Amino acid sequence: WMADYGFLENTGTSANVGAVLDFKEGPMPSLVHMHPEETVGEAIEVLREYGVSQMPIVKPGAGHPDVMAAEVIGSVVERQLLDALFT
């Protein structure tokens, strides 16, 4: 509604995801991720370090530690992690 009334520029579908990453400061890994054995505290640190609010949890491929050969087994969201930490 804000774009409809001139309060916000309507970029429509022309904006792309890569443009969002261009606004991130500092180097970004090709995939911000965690492994299932890492702690909730470590996950929160990674989310804050890279300025993201969610990330996949990956299980490295059989004998192959890089992410490209990994299997995504889930994901975490910042809010869920903070709730788990403080409740």
| CA trace torsion 69, 75, 28, 86 (10° rounding) | -140
Within 13 A of 22's CA, how many CA atoms are on the CB side? 5
pLDDT in tens, 20-58: 767 777 777 878 889 999 998 999 999 999 888 999 998
Which pLDDT tens digit goes with each residue over 63-84? 555 666 678 889 999 888 888 8
Contacts (Cβ under 8 Å, ≥6 apart) of 50? 24, 28, 29, 32
Domain 27-86 has CATH 3.10.580.10: yes
For the chain, the structural domain boundaries read: 27-86
Which tokens sit at 28?
């970004």
Q: Enter the pTM of the model.
A: 0.65
> Is pLDDT at 1 greater than 60 in this prediction?
no
DSSP 2-14: TTTTTSS---GGG
